[in-house]
Structures are given as C-alpha cells and as structure tokens.
Amino acid sequence: MKTSKLLSAALAVLIALVVLSGSIAVPLLCRSFYYAHIGPMNLTGYGLTEEEIKTAYNEMMDFCLGRREDFSAGVLPFSQSGADHFADVQKLFLLDLRVLKLSAAALGFLLGWCLVGRMRPHRFLNRGPGFWAAAGLGASFLIVGGLAALDFDRAFVIFHSVFFPGKDNWIFDWQTDPIILFLPQDFFRNCAVLILALLLAWCAALIGADLWAGRRAGRG
C-alpha cells in the first residue's frame, strides 16, 4: 500500500485543530463548570441569588454563542462598551466552534478515505500523524501554560491585547457593567487550567496510542 507524506501532514494538522478547538469548547458549552464556582467564589455576596447569577450567565453565553441576537445579562445593567466587547467575544467563540466542526468533518473524511482507499499516512521517524500532532501541540502548550502560571495577570493582559487588538473595552467598570463581578479572573484562570488539562490528556492518549500501535506492529 502506498504511503503519503502530504496525507500524514494533513492528518497531523487536523488532529491538532480538533484537540485544540475541542478542548476550548468544553468550558464554553459546559455551563455546570461555571455553576460550580458560584458557591466557592461566594458570587452571591454581590446581591444576586444563585438563580439570578445563572440566568445572567446563561443569557450572556447564549449571546456569545450566537443563540440570541441582542446582548443581555439577566437583571444586570450593562453599558454599550460592555455589550460591544461581548460582541467581539462572540466572534472568537463562534470561530472556535466552526474550526472544531470543520476540522472534525475533514478529519473524519480523510480517515474514512484511508480505510477504503489504497493509501495510508507516511510515518515520519516511524511515528504516525497523531503522535506528531500531540507532541507539537502538547509541547507548545506546556510552554505557554508554564509561562502563564508564572504571572497569570500579565498573561491575561497579553491574551486580550492579542485577541482584541487596539481595544480596551475588555477593562470593565463594575459600576456600569456589574457582570464583571460575577466573572472573576480566578474563574478565567480555572477555565485555562481546564483547557490545558484536557488538551494534555488528549495529547498523552494520542502519543500512548501511537507507541502501542508501533510496538504491536513490531511484534507482528
């Protein structure tokens, strides 16, 4: 059976995209992750009940995920500047979900083509595309995560400078946009930890699967 280096590279890129965008999607779609922070972070101390906080969060996330046209946050008021920032956030969230859908579809198509076709991915240094996708992605995010852990406040600022260039409306005034009181920086830190943990777990699984397949092939 013929092997293809181009196919191997394409599979590695698609696997990396699925793992990355899928890991990011988990805290975006799993609202119970936020709910679990309400008690430990004493968010009800700002004058809203737990149900009101959940409603505010749900309406905000529904907007950010494109499920409602106009921004709202339950009983909380908001400024136009704050709403504009969440409109920018919506673009990033939807971009991640589109990347996940498209890369997963393309990956499924290529894997299916490999199964029914007469071609398989080339194994660079006797390692498959899953190994190289996981090794590259895992190493990169271990470095990024390590640097962010050294100074998360600075990493938080750099993140917003990169993804919201030239804008400062992500710096909220709690008096005009009280939603920020219910989205403490520690919550975003925990989201980053969750994403990194999921990403590294998938990378470890991919590397382990490739090593196992290599040993099995060697015994065969």
Summarised one tens digit per residue, pLDDT across range 158-193 is: 999 999 999 999 999 999 999 999 999 999 999 999
Q: How far is CA 151 from CA 1, 37, 74, in A?
A: 51, 22, 33
Q: What is the mean pLDDT of residues 207-214?
A: 89
What's the pLDDT at 108?
A: 95
The yes-or-no verdict on residue 205 having pLDDT over 80 is yes
Type of residue found at 140 = S
Q: In sequence order, which residues have a C-beta less than 8 Å from that of residue 116 and are 6 or more positions away?
A: none
What's the pLDDT at 218?
A: 58
> What does residue 79 show for φ and ψ, rounded to 5 degrees?
-95, 165
The model's confidence at residue 1, banded by pLDDT at 50, 70 and 90, is: low
Q: Average model confidence (pLDDT) for the chain?
A: 94
CA angle, 196 then 193 then 213, to 5°? 30
What letter does residue 39 receive in the DSSP assignment?
T
Is the torsion defined by CA of 96, 102, 105, 106 positive or negative? negative
Dihedral angle of Cα 215, 139, 27, 104, to the nearest 10 degrees: -60
Residue-wise DSSP of 10-39: HHHHHHHHHHHHHHHHHHHH-HHHHHHHHT
Share of the chain above pLDDT 90, in %: 86
What's the pLDDT at 215?
A: 76
What letter does residue 127 receive in the DSSP assignment?
B
The yes-or-no verdict on residue 138 having pLDDT over 80 is yes
The yes-or-no verdict on residue 217 having pLDDT over 90 is no
The helix (run of H) or strand (run of E) holding residue 143 is: helix 129-150
pTM of the full predicted structure?
A: 0.94
Q: How far apart, in whole angstroms, are the C-alpha atoms of residue 186 and residue 172?
A: 16
Specify whether the CB–CB gap between 86 and 63 falls below 8 A: yes
Type of residue found at 173 = D
Q: Is 2 exposed, middle or buried (0-12, 13-18, 19+ CB in 10 A)?
A: exposed
Residues in the chain: 220
Q: How far is CA 47 from CA 44, 76, 179, in A?
A: 6, 11, 12
